[in-house]
Amino acid sequence: MAVLWQREQGGTRYEVRSAGHTRRLYANGVLHSQYNPRRPLTGNLWDLLMLPAFFLPPGRIRRVLVLGVGGGAVIRQLQHFVAPERIVGVDKDPVHLAVARRFFGVTGDGVGLIRADARAWLAAYRGPRFDMIIDDLFGDVDGEPRRAIALDEAWSRLLLRRLAPRGVLVANCVSTRELAGSALAAGPGLRGRPGSVFSLKTAQNENAVGVFLRFRAGSGDLRRRLRRDPEIAAALAGGRLRYHIRPVR
């Protein structure tokens, strides 16, 4: 694996590495993004952040907010498979945003990358609600990934206030335990909200991706729509896309 670029800044060691057409972004040795434009499905965690868009019919996801851009892998996947009218990516790390543009090709008229603290930006935001919000806010402690903002009741309520009435909220968690203990899955102030909650996992890592829908749906709805996309259907049939889904409540 070749190192294309590296930088030490603010106590963080950044590297962009290549393996064929695949680009990977590392920060302090932690993999933050992976993308190959010739094979948009990674077979890893980033697929799980994009797949919940298929809980809704084609054309229903028009506005997407990505909190925690990293290298922008999920933005590229959304552009390829979902084609929203607008994608807003928020990240407080200017190096992430520069790498996303330069090495991962996160560009286009429909994409806006914003350098800001996610909590402050979301609290101040007064624009149209988003059909899909992806919370992938992660840092690292001693070389291990850790969520930057806990999924407590205050943060969960703020996320939901910015979500459209029939929107999809996706949150990356370190583990199934962290997801199950989150306010969105178990919080007393949110438990009574109508909708469905699922956990998505792959065998490649321990992360659990929470999917919070503002409408009732079943895992079969997701599977049916994924099979209608020829590229995703081929990846499922060929074993290049593997995921496990189960209801959380």
Give the chain's domain count: 1
Q: How far apart are CA 124 and CA 38, in angstroms?
A: 38
Q: What is the pLDDT along the chain (249 residues), one digit of tens a residue?
A: 799 999 999 889 999 999 999 999 998 888 889 999 999 998 889 999 999 999 999 999 999 999 999 999 999 999 999 999 999 999 999 999 999 999 999 999 999 999 999 999 999 999 999 999 999 998 767 767 789 999 999 999 999 999 999 999 999 999 999 999 999 888 766 766 768 999 999 988 899 999 999 999 999 999 999 999 999 999 999 999 999 999 986
> Is 140 contained in some domain?
yes
Domain assignment of residue 146, given as a range:
42-247
Here the CATH number for the domain that contains residue 50 is 3.40.50.150
Q: How far apart are CA 180 and CA 163, in angstroms?
A: 21
> Is 77 contained in some domain?
yes
The residue behind tokens 């402050």 is 120
| Sign (positive or negative) of CA dihedral 222, 226, 228, 229 | positive
Q: How far apart are CA 189 and CA 72, in angstroms?
A: 33
H helix or E strand, kind and range, residue 244: strand 244-247
> Is 25 contained in some domain?
no
Q: How far apart are CA 173 and CA 176, in angstroms?
A: 7
Q: How far apart are CA 207 and CA 116, in angstroms?
A: 25
Of 30, 72, 31, the residue nearest 50 (C-alpha): 72
Question: Which residues make beta-bridge pairs with 200?
Answer: 209, 245
> Is 195 contained in some domain?
yes
> Is 12 contained in some domain?
no
Tokens, residue 223 = 């599977």
pLDDT for the residue 157:
94
Of 212, 199, 187, the residue nearest 243 (C-alpha): 199
Q: How far apart are CA 36 and CA 19, in angstroms?
A: 9
pTM for this model (two decimals): 0.95
> Is 18 contained in some domain?
no
pLDDT for the residue 110:
96
> Is 35 contained in some domain?
no
> Is 173 contained in some domain?
yes
